[in-house]
């Protein structure tokens, strides 16, 4: 990851930095809404615009085929869908 300046990092790298900061600070075990609120706050602290629960029209070949609520929309171009699980990997 480029550490010269947050301004030159691609949006995904800047957002991943915010995601890792939230997880490293909060750890595991919370409901999704807690992480969503923290992930709405952390990008703002880094000067990255983010909106939660943004309604987006789904367009297919020029026609609206539905709607989608994005958990987070960052800089009007990056959609983040949050999923919380008890643990990763196969269940026994």
State how far the alpha carbon of 89 is from the alpha carbons of 3, 31, 45, in Å.
32, 19, 33
What pLDDT does 68 receive? 94
**pLDDT beyond 80 at 75:** yes
**What's the pTM value of the predicted model, to 2 decimals?**
0.72
pLDDT, tens digit (0-9, with 9 covering 90-100), for 10-19: 778 889 999 9
- Per-chain mean pLDDT for the chain: 86
Phi, psi of 41 (to 5 degrees): -80, -45
């Amino acid at each position: 990851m480029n550490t010269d300046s947050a301004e030159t990092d691609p949006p995904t790298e800047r957002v991943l930095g915010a995601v890792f900061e939230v997880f490293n600070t909060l750890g595991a075990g919370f409901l999704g809404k807690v992480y969503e609120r923290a992930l709405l706050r952390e990008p703002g602290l880094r000067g990255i615009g983010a909106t939660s629960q943004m309604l987006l029209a789904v367009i297919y070949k020029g026609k609206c085929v539905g709607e989608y609520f994005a958990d987070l929309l960052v800089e009007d171009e990056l959609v983040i869908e949050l999923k919380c699980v008890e643990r990763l990997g196969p269940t026994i």
